[in-house]
Amino acid sequence: MKFPILLPNIFDYPFTYESDLKLKTGDFVIVPFGKSKITGVVWDEFEKNDNKTFKIKNVLKKLKTSALKKDTIKFLNWFAKYNLVPKGMALKLSLLSNNVVEKLSDEKYRYFEANIKKHSFKLSKDQKKSLKLMSKFSNKFRVHVLQGTTGSGKTIVYFEALKDQITKGFQGLILLPEIGLTSQFEQKFFEFFGFKPAVWHSGITKKKKEIIWSGVNEGKIKVVIGARSSLFLPFKKLGLIIVDEEHDQSYKQDEGVIYNARDMAIVRASFEDIPINLISSVPSIETYENIKKGKYSISKLNKRYQDAELPNYEIINLNNTKLEKQSWLSKEIIEKANYHLEKKDQVLFFLNRRGFSPHVICNKCFSTYTCPNCSINLVYHKKKNILLCHYCGFKSSLNRDCLKDEKCNFIFSGPGVERISDEVKKNFPFKKIEIFSSDTMNRKDSLDKLNKIINNEIDILVGTQLISKGFHFPNLNCIIVVDIDLSTQGHDLRAAEKSLQLYHQLSGRAGRAGKPATVYFQTYSKNTKMINEITNSNPNLFLDRELEIRKKNKLPPYERFIALILTSENEQRLEKEAFYFKTYLADKISAKVLGPVSAPIFRLKRKFRVRLLIRGPKSLKLQDSISELILKYKFSNGIKLTVDVDPINFN
C-alpha cells in the first residue's frame, strides 16, 4: 500500500513510499532517502507528481511512539503556508534534531508527575472575576486577554485556570519570552502546584529534551513552560495555552524559520479547539485591535497585589545641570539614589545597552572600530577586554596599528551598562553592585544572583531591558533611567509601542512590596509629553491614538506586511537582482511592492542585504500568490531569499 511520508527538510511536499505495515496518518516511520535513513511522518495528502514515473521505495520501520495528531498536522500545514516555509521545515520544528524518541519507561517521567497540592493562595474580588471570565467556554477555542497592572497578580489567576484543565486530565503550555531566567517562575509554579513543570528551551540537555518530548507525546507530562520552540511539541491532549507577556518582541523568531510564536500559538489553539490566554500589562497593538473588534474577550486587574501603589515619576532635566566630563549621572540623580539607599531601598540604574561603550575611536587617525563582517560598530566589553559584534559574534582586541603614529590611542564614545556600573562604583564605593544583562545573567550562578537581589544583599543594580521581564524584586523602590532619549531614536514603525511596553514593564519592577517608589528619567529633551504618555497608568489612551495613526496610514494591523530580504556576498549582483525581482513581482501581484532599498544593517555576517516590502490585504491569498511567484523565479547563483511575514524589526 502507498503512503505519503513528509520528511523534515526543505521539501514542501511528502514523498510516496510503500509498506505492508498498518500505518495511519501521523505515524512516525524510518524510510530510506538517498543513501541514508531518515525519520518521517505519514502525512495527510500525497505529493503532486505531475504524472511523473518514479521508483517507489519501502518504509523500513514504524517507530514505537504515539502518532502525531491530525490537528497538529493541520496546524503545521497552515503554519508552512502562512509563513512561506516548506512543510518539511515546519515538521522539523516538531522533531528532535530530525528524530523522535520511542516510548520510555514510566520511571523516566516520574520527576514531572502532576500531583497537585492544596495551597493557601486566596484570590481578590478582581482576580475571581477575571478567572470567571477566563474560564468561560473553557473547553472550546477562544482568545481571552488578561490585562493587569504589573504586580497585580495575573500569574495566580492563570495558574488557577491551568489547574482546572490539569484536573480534567488535559496538558497545559505556558509560553514565556525569556526562558533562560525561569528559575523565579519555576519556584512560583512549584509553590502553587506542588510539582515540577517540564522546562523547554535551547539550553536544556539532550537527555532531558528526549524525556520531555516523549513525555509530552505520550501524555505523561502535564505542563510545559517553554520558549518559542515549545509551541511545536507533539502534545497528546493539550487543553490550554498561556502566552505570558504576549506583547514581548522576543516571541518573534527572526532567524532560520521566521514566525511569531504568539500569533502561531493562537492558530494552534484554534486547530486544537482549545482556549488560549494572552497575558500583558500593555497589550500589543494587534491584540488591542482584536479586543476592540470583539474578537478577543478581556478581563482587567487594575489594582496591584495588596493594594501596593504604582511608582511616582520624576523628570530630571539635564539642560539645567552640567555633567562632569566622561560622566552620565547628574549630581541630582546621585542625591536621589542616596536618599533611597539610606531608606534601605534597592536602586536600579537602567540603560538598554550592553557592554562598556558602543563606539571606539582613535583620536589620532580618527578611525572607528567596526566589524569586518557587518556594517556596524564593535562594542567594547571592559570585563572581557574585547571588542565584540553583537550580531555575528566577531571578537577583536583593542591593540591596533595607527594610520598616523604607532599604536591607536582610542577613546570611548557613549556608555553601556559596564560604564555606568563603573561610575556608580565611584559614587557609591561601599555598596554592593551587580550588572543585570544577558552577558551576566545567563550563567550557572544566575540563580544565586537572583536570590541575593531578592534577599536585599545587592544594593544597586545596573541593568538592560532584561530586568523588565517579569522579575519580582521586593526591595526595588528606585529606578533611574539613565537616558530615555537613546531608546527613542531610529525609524522603527513600532518604536513608540515598544517604548510604552518597556517602560510600563520596567516601572512595574518598583514598589511591588507596598513601599513608596519612584522612577526617575534623565533627559535632554524639553518635550516631556512622550514620557508622560508612556508612564500614564492607562496605556489604552496611547494605544487608541496609535491605532488611529496606523489606520490612517494603512499600516499593520490594518494591512499585511511581508518583507523579502535578498542577501549575497556580491554587492553589484545583489542590487541588479533586487531590481529584476521587484519588477517581476510588481507585474504579477495585486499588492504594493516597495523597494528595493539597502537594509539599515547593509552588511551582516559578510553578506550584503537588500529589502523589498510587500504591503497588501490581510488574506492568505497574498501568501499563496507570493509562494507561486517565488517558485517560478530563478535566482542568480549566490543570491539567497529570506521571507519575513509580519516583520517586527526592519534591520
Residue 421 in any domain: the answer is yes
Residue 110 in any domain: the answer is yes
428 and 461 fall within a common domain: yes
Return d(Cα 212, Cα 427) in angstroms, integer. 49
570 and 639 fall within a common domain: yes
Residue 299 in any domain: the answer is yes
Cβ within 8 Å of residue 569, ≥6 positions away? 606, 607, 608, 638
Return d(Cα 615, Cα 605) in angstroms, integer. 28
Q: What is the pLDDT of residues 376-398, one digit of tens each?
A: 999 999 999 999 999 999 999 88
Q: How confident is the model at residue 137, as a pLDDT? A: 74
Q: How confident is the model at residue 19, as a pLDDT? A: 94
Q: How confident is the model at residue 252, as a pLDDT? A: 95
Residue 368 in any domain: the answer is no
C-alpha angle 364-366-372 in degrees, rounded to nearest 5:
125
CATH code where residue 36 lies:
3.40.1440.60
Mean model confidence pLDDT for the chain: 90
Q: How confident is the model at residue 51, as a pLDDT? A: 57
Residue 152 in any domain: the answer is yes
Residue 6 in any domain: the answer is yes
Q: How confident is the model at residue 489, as a pLDDT? A: 47
266 and 312 fall within a common domain: no
Return d(Cα 561, Cα 646) in angstroms, integer. 5
143 and 261 fall within a common domain: yes
323 and 468 fall within a common domain: yes
Extract the C-alpha cell encoding 286: 494587534
CATH code where residue 452 lies:
3.40.50.300
Number of domains in the chain: 4
User: Cell numbers 524525556 label which residue?
Assistant: 211
* Domain boundary pick from 546, 573, 588: 546
Q: How confident is the model at residue 490, as a pLDDT? A: 47
Residue 370 in any domain: the answer is no
262 and 345 fall within a common domain: no
Q: What is the pLDDT of residues 448-502, one digit of tens each?
A: 888 888 888 999 999 998 888 777 788 899 999 998 754 444 456 777 788 888 8
289 and 316 fall within a common domain: no
Where the chain has pLDDT below 50, the residues are: 486-490
CATH code where residue 585 lies:
3.30.70.600
Range of the domain at 352: 308-356+415-546
Extract the C-alpha cell encoding 366: 580618527
Residue 464 in any domain: the answer is yes
9 and 25 fall within a common domain: yes
624 and 500 fall within a common domain: no
Q: Which stretches of 228-378 are assigned E, i.e. beta strand?
A: 238-243, 252-253, 259-260, 275-280, 297-301, 312-317, 346-350, 359-362
pTM of the predicted model over 0.95: no
Return d(Cα 12, Cα 80) in angstroms, integer. 8
26 and 173 fall within a common domain: no
